[in-house]
Copies of this chain bind each other. A is one copy, B any other.
């Protein structure tokens, strides 16, 4: 294993330290609890939004803390849920009296720990906590880490749109309902060209042949639907979009997220985007908004995922609203 790390056991806290140094104007990092917070939270009475999960998916979630998106993110060990005490501490820290929404990717450990944290926080401080699960991955039901569908790229859309709604001053019930609507409307699928290597394991999580891709891979390297020979990008895009479109709810224009899994260069992501948009046009779907880059990654895994969400006028406006985080930034 070749990685730019120091002690294998310290990768998360070492990275959080770097994150803290890199973004002093945006982030405050509580290294003890491994919570990423806004540097200068306003006491504006808004609903607070937290998220979190295993590390190794950067910039998710810490990179999405800031105005217009998250109030806090809890970093677990690599590919391991944060613990309830840590999440409860985050809830208490961000609550402004208007309640806290938790956005949780649907993995068994995360679901359990965020649930326990909500109960802890409610019991200790009376904070009102709601949760929305993201489960946008159409690849498989029930996988290595999941009962039901996995939460992947759709998580970013939920965090952005719910974040904008909270910033507008909507109440907890309204922000939660909106987050649920975005979660319900998002569909994703990923393909891996290589495995990730978890630092503590020291070797790739799975092996792929020289000419193979894993269709429907999870962000922890969970097995997908099948293995295929590598194909041109346009065929890959079609293979990814078909199951997404088969289950995509709603009508009208869509947001297309082209997400790199960590080891794939931007050049390839742009090629995939052009191909995906051409296929969507064949299906009569207009892509009205795009996001391309490495947003929810799997360490050094080469590969990409596509996510679609139909946008109405309200979702478009909230997607376009200003956001000011290390990873995603628009307007002011």
Interface residues of A (CB under 8 A from B): 2-7, 11, 14-19, 21-23, 55-56, 58-59, 63, 193-194, 210-211, 213, 230, 232-234, 236, 258, 262-275, 277, 287, 290, 292, 294, 297, 299-300, 302-304, 329-332
Contact = CB atoms under 8 A, between A and B. Distances in A.
Nearest to A298: B265
B11 A299 contact: no
Given A297-B266, A302-B300, A271 B6 contact: yes
Contacts of A58: 265-267, 270
Given A58-B267, A59-B266, A193-B4, A18 B274 contact: yes
Contacts of A7: 232
B329 A330 contact: yes
A138 B279 CA distance: 46
B270 A6 contact: no
A269 B18 contact: yes
Contacts of A233: 4-6, 14
A304 B5 CA distance: 12
Contacts of A234: 6
Contact of A18 (B3, B263, B271, B303): B271
Contact of A294 (B23, B55, B294, B304): B294
Contacts of A232: 5-7
Contact of A265 (B300, B329, B331): B300
A210 B213 CA distance: 23
Given A193-B2, A268-B5, A22 B290 contact: yes
A21 B287 contact: yes
Contact of A11 (B18, B59, B267, B330): B267
A290 to B, nearest CB: 4
Given A21-B277, A22-B258, 7 more contacts: A2-B230, A4-B193, A15-B274, A18-B277, A21-B273, A263-B265, A329-B329
A287 B275 CA distance: 42
A265 B265 contact: no
A248 to B, nearest CB: 19
A55 B266 CA distance: 11
A19 B270 CA distance: 6
Q: List the 7 closest A-B pairs by CB distance, nearest first.
A: A18-B270, A18-B274, A18-B273, A4-B268, A58-B266, A15-B270, A17-B274
B264 A4 contact: yes
